[in-house]
Amino acid sequence: MWNGWTPTDAIFPFFIFIMGVSIVLALSKKNEAGVEKKQLYKEIVNRTWKLFALGLFLNVFPIDLFTPDYHWLTDTLFKVRVMGVLQRLALVYFITSVLFLNTSSGTLIKLSVSILLVYWLVLFYAPFSTVINGSAIDLTGSLKHGNNFAAYVDSLILGQNHVYFTKNILLPYDPEGILSTMPAVVSCIIGVLTGLYLKKETSFFEQISSLFVWGILFVLSGEFLANWIPINKTIWSPSYVIFMAGLSLIALAMFRYFFDKKPKNPLAEFLNVFGMNALFFFMFSALLARLILMIKIGDLRLRDWIYTNFFSPIFGNHLGSMAYSVCFLLISYVVLNWVYKRKIFWAL
């Protein structure tokens, strides 16, 4: 599905939103402790390059053991995908952190509105074209898969060999591309503004109510804007930013209501295992997913062999796919729980 959204499309913006909240809590605490800005910038830069480097590592990790004449150096390293989930998180974290340290909340609001407005205008009115069958075709205003201005920027700067989408499209591009990273910064800034609000001395009920009301307003606004620019995760459209910010606010309100003032419960403990080691969880699951593609049983890769021989025959194709995903999650949980109980937390 190109336009619209599914529950999985909420994961990335939720993470970026809560990263914005965390930026406020972490940097404010250090500011209040008297840490100099120079030291804060050093920590921000260190965290940024480490995140970016981890993303690049994941992109060069796969080794194709089964394709004849495959060479890791020329076929993977020299054609490495430059961008990715962690790379986008790194850039968004860096930009938002610097903005937080140097601007007021009012400026952040104005900047967010400006970025979304400019991005909207660029998508619709920035001229770009490509050559098809020897003729230059004007594509200005197109918002199609592999045929939009964000994809055009990726194809110019990153090139065909260093992006995610390369086949069956007009322009090679990356779903975590260069231009679409800017509206993702707005998703993080909304998290920052939320964090600033949570630091105010207001009652718990007032905070929960405000988060929920603002969440509803953002969701409705995103749906309204979708009449002119569709909700689209891959190009991180302005309507997607606003809609997902609304869902993020509602989710935060619900989690605070059910967990912050309640006694500990099994669900909270289960989620805490993942939340306290989010980066470890991401890296472990990403590496495991790559490893089971690098192992082969007969003519099938291990992932496909497991699905074909166990999950599909027992549950069918659709439920089998879900059961496979749940099993993958439970395996990740076992590993993370072992790490959690030993109080091992991976932070950059």
Identity of the residue numbered 201? E
Half-sphere exposure of 257 (CA within 13 A, CB side): 14
Q: Binning pLDDT at 50, 70 and 90, where does residue 266 land?
A: confident
Q: Compute the distance between CA of residue 133 and CA of residue 36 in angstroms, rounded to an integer.
A: 59
Q: Answer positive or negative: Cα dihedral of 304, 306, 310, 311.
A: negative
* Co-location of 50 and 103 in the same domain: yes
Max Cα distance, the chain (Å)? 68
Place of tokens 């336009």: 3
- The DSSP call for residue 310 is I
CA distances from 148 to 15, 92, 139, 171, 179 (A): 26, 22, 7, 8, 11
pLDDT at 1 over 70: no
Instruction: Domain count for the chain, please give it.
Output: 2
- Per the CB < 8 A criterion, the answer to whether 35 and 43 are in contact is no
Q: Is 190 helix (H, G, I), strand (E, B) or coil?
A: helix
**Bridge partners, 301 (sequence order):** 296
- Answer whether residue 210 is part of any domain: yes
* Co-location of 288 and 241 in the same domain: no
Lowest-pLDDT range of 33-37, 93-97, 239-243: 33-37
Phi, psi of 170 (to 5 degrees): -75, -45
Q: Is 169 helix (H, G, I), strand (E, B) or coil?
A: coil
CA distances from 77 to 56, 59, 62, 246 (A): 10, 9, 10, 39
Q: Compute the distance between CA of residue 310 and CA of residue 65 in angstroms, rounded to an integer.
A: 24
User: Which letter, b or e, does each residue of 77-98 get, where b requires 16 or more Cβ atoms within 10 Å of its Cβ?
Assistant: eebebbbbbbbbbbbbbbbbbe
Residues 6+ apart with CB under 8 A from 74: none
pLDDT at 156 over 90: yes
Give the domain-ending residue among 219, 245, 262: 262
Is residue 26 packed enough to be buried (19+ CB in 10 Å), middle (13-18) or exposed (0-12)? middle
Identity of the residue numbered 342? R
* Co-location of 39 and 162 in the same domain: yes
* Co-location of 256 and 270 in the same domain: no
* Co-location of 45 and 120 in the same domain: yes
* Co-location of 44 and 55 in the same domain: yes
Please give the distance of CA 331 from its chain centroid, rounded to a whole number.
Answer: 22
Task: Look at phi and psi of residue 36 and say left if phi exceeds 0, alpha if psi is from -120 to 50, else beta.
Answer: beta
Give the domain-ending residue among 238, 262, 286: 262
Which has more pLDDT, 52 or 260?
A: 52
Q: What's the residue count for the chain?
A: 348
Q: And the tokens for 287?
A: 């590496």
Q: Compute the distance between CA of residue 334 and CA of residue 89 in angstroms, rounded to an integer.
A: 26
The secondary structure element, H or E, covering residue 323 is helix 317-341
Q: What is the pLDDT of residue 168?
A: 85
CA distances from 23 to 20, 144, 199 (A): 5, 34, 12
Half-sphere exposure of 260 (CA within 13 A, CB side): 10
Range of the domain at 270: 263-348
* Co-location of 195 and 67 in the same domain: yes
- Answer whether residue 2 is part of any domain: no
Q: What is the pLDDT of residue 259?
A: 82
Q: What is the pLDDT of residues 30-79, one digit of tens each?
A: 988 889 999 999 999 999 999 999 999 999 987 777 777 888 888 888 99
Average pLDDT, the chain: 93
* Co-location of 280 and 138 in the same domain: no
Please give the distance of CA 147 from its chain centroid, rounded to a whole number.
Answer: 22
Tell me the DSSP string of 236-253. T-HHHHHHHHHHHHHHHH
* Co-location of 212 and 306 in the same domain: no
- Answer whether residue 1 is part of any domain: no
Q: What is the pLDDT of residue 81?
A: 95
pLDDT at 272 over 70: yes
* Co-location of 159 and 126 in the same domain: yes
- Answer whether residue 124 is part of any domain: yes
* Co-location of 205 and 282 in the same domain: no
Q: Binning pLDDT at 50, 70 and 90, where does residue 263 land?
A: low
- Answer whether residue 88 is part of any domain: yes
Give the domain-ending residue among 230, 262, 294: 262
Q: Compute the distance between CA of residue 182 and CA of residue 96 in angstroms, rounded to an integer.
A: 10
* Co-location of 325 and 182 in the same domain: no
